[in-house]
């Protein structure tokens, strides 16, 4: 007799026999327990493996980026050293002693004070000269004043509010 037929026979009422059959049908057998335990262990192992692989991936990427940053910093240092070397060479080449030496090699000579000639060209304004003083303008003094509400400190404001509150309380309950 099946569970459904016993329920029909008893008109939908549960009896001891039908309950026993129901529990026997759903009792977990040992091999089912072993399978579920094994699957649980496998799922846990899979989660651990996924977490470890994710950790290794992030670590590898971080290491690669760190190495790239170090290489770029080394390259920046090399470029800065080259730039400093070139500035030093430019300073040496444009020093007054070197410029005088090169000018003498090219056939120039020093002039005497009596040989100097200054030409004034009307309308010519040198591009690299900036006026050292600006035309004098009348300086106006400006005074700023803040409203009194903005000159009060937080402590003063709190003290005022507490005093107002205390006076209000005294006035309510004499």
* Assigned token pair, 66: 């760190």
Flag whether 25 is in a domain.
Answer: no
Flag whether 12 is in a domain.
Answer: no
Dihedral sign, Cα of residue 162, residue 168, residue 171, residue 174: negative
What's the domain range around 46?
30-98
Specify whether the CB–CB gap between 1 and 15 falls below 8 A.
no
pTM: 0.41
User: Given its phi and psi angles, is residue 123 left (phi above 0), alpha (psi -120 to 50 degrees) or beta?
Assistant: left
Flag whether 64 is in a domain.
Answer: yes
Burial class (CB in 10 A: 0-12, 13-18, 19+), 22: middle
Flag whether 122 is in a domain.
Answer: no
Flag whether 57 is in a domain.
Answer: yes
In this predicted structure, what is the pLDDT of residue 23? 72
Cα distance between residue 65 and residue 59, in whole Å: 10
pLDDT tens-digit readout, 80-119 = 999 999 999 999 999 999 999 999 999 998 888 888 888 8
Flag whether 87 is in a domain.
Answer: yes
pLDDT tens-digit readout, 17-63 = 767 776 776 666 777 778 889 999 999 999 999 999 999 999 999 99
| Domain count within the chain | 1
Cα distance between residue 106 and residue 118, in whole Å: 24
Cα distance between residue 155 and residue 159, in whole Å: 6
Specify whether the CB–CB gap between 6 and 21 falls below 8 A.
yes
Cα distance between residue 152 and residue 143, in whole Å: 19
Flag whether 118 is in a domain.
Answer: no
Flag whether 158 is in a domain.
Answer: no
In this predicted structure, what is the pLDDT of residue 123? 86
Cα-based distances in Å from 76 to 68, 73, 85, 129, 139: 12, 5, 14, 36, 49
């Amino acid at each position: 007799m099946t569970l459904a037929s016993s329920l029909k026979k008893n008109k939908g009422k549960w009896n001891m026999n039908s309950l026993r059959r129901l529990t026997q049908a759903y009792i977990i057998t040992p091999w089912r327990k072993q399978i579920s335990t094994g699957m649980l262990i496998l799922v846990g192992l899979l989660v651990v493996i996924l977490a470890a692989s994710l950790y290794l991936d992030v670590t590898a990427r971080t290491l690669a980026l760190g190495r790239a940053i170090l290489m770029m910093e080394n390259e920046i240092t090399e470029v800065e050293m080259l730039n400093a070397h070139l500035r030093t060479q430019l300073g040496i080449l444009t020093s007054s002693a070197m410029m005088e030496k090169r000018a003498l090699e090219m056939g120039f000579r020093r002039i005497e004070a009596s040989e100097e000639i200054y030409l004034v060209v009307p309308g010519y304004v040198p591009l690299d000269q900036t006026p050292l003083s600006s035309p004098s303008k009348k300086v106006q003094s400006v005074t700023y004043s803040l409203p009194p509400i903005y000159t009060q400190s937080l402590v003063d404001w709190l003290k005022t509010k507490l005093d107002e509150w205390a006076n209000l309380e005294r006035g309510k309950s004499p």
